[in-house]
Amino acid sequence: MSDISAPKGTGPLAKREARLAWSLLFPTIAIVSLVVILPLLAIFWISFKPIGLADLRPVAPVVREDLRNAGDPDQAVRYRLQNRSQDTPIENVIFFDTVPAGATLGELPEVCELSGTALTCTIGTLEPGERLTFLIPVTLEGDLETLEDALEDDTEARATGDADSILTNTEFSLENFARIFDGDEFLTVMWATIFYTVFGTIGALLFGLFAALLLNKSFRGQGILRGLYLFPYVAPVIAVAFTWVNLFDPFSGSANALLVQMGVTTQTINFFGERPLALIMVTVFEIWRYFPLSFLFILARMQSIDTDMYEAADMDGASPFQKFWYLSLPMLLGILSVLFLLRFIWTFNKFDDIFLLTGGNAGTRTLTVNVYEQAFAISNIGAGAAVAVVIFACLLGFSFFFFKFISREEGL
Count of beta carbons in the 10 Å neighbourhood of residue 229: 20
Task: Tell me the H-state helices in 89-174.
Answer: 144-151
Q: How is residue 412 annotated by DSSP?
A: -
CB 298 within 8 A of CB 208: yes
User: 155-184: per-residue pLDDT in tens?
Assistant: 578 888 988 888 888 888 888 898 888 867
Would the pLDDT of 286 be above 90?
Answer: yes
Cα–Cα distance between 66 and 150 in angstroms, integer?
A: 10
Q: Phi and psi (nearest 5°) for 216?
A: -85, 40
| pTM of the complete model | 0.78
The predicted-structure confidence for 62-104, as pLDDT tens digits, reads as follows: 888 888 877 677 788 888 999 988 888 999 999 888 887 777 8
Distance, in Å, from the CA atom of 239 to the CA atom of 227, rounded to the nearest integer, reads 18
Using alpha carbons, list the distances in angstroms from residue 3 to 7, 21, 373.
8, 21, 63
pLDDT of residue 305: 84
Tell me how crowded residue 35 is: count the other CB atoms within 10 A of its CB: 10
Domain boundaries, the chain: 2-47, 59-162, 175-410
Helix or strand (DSSP H, E) at 135 = strand 131-140
Pairing of strands 158-162, 112-115: unpaired
Please tell me whether residue 1 adopts helix, strand or coil conformation: coil
Average per-residue pLDDT in the chain?
Answer: 85
Q: What is the pLDDT of residue 2?
A: 45
53, 42, 50: which is closest to 376 by C-alpha? 53
Segment 173-232, tens digit of pLDDT = 888 898 888 867 889 999 999 999 999 999 999 999 999 988 888 778 778 888 888 999
Topology of 175-410 in CATH? MetI-like fold (1.10.3720)
Q: How many degrees, rounded to 5, is the angle at CA 403 between CA 398 and CA 406?
A: 90
Q: Which whole number is the average pLDDT over 119-132?
A: 90
Q: Are strands 112-115 and 118-126 parallel, antiparallel or unpaired?
A: antiparallel
Give the CATH number of domain 59-162; options: 3.30.70.2860, 3.40.50.2300, 2.60.40.290, 1.10.760.10.
2.60.40.290
Share of the chain above pLDDT 70, in %: 92
Query: What are residue 106's phi and psi, to 5 degrees?
Result: -90, -140
Model pLDDT for residues 2-58, shown as the tens digit of each residue: 444 545 556 778 888 888 888 888 888 888 878 888 888 889 999 998 888 777 778
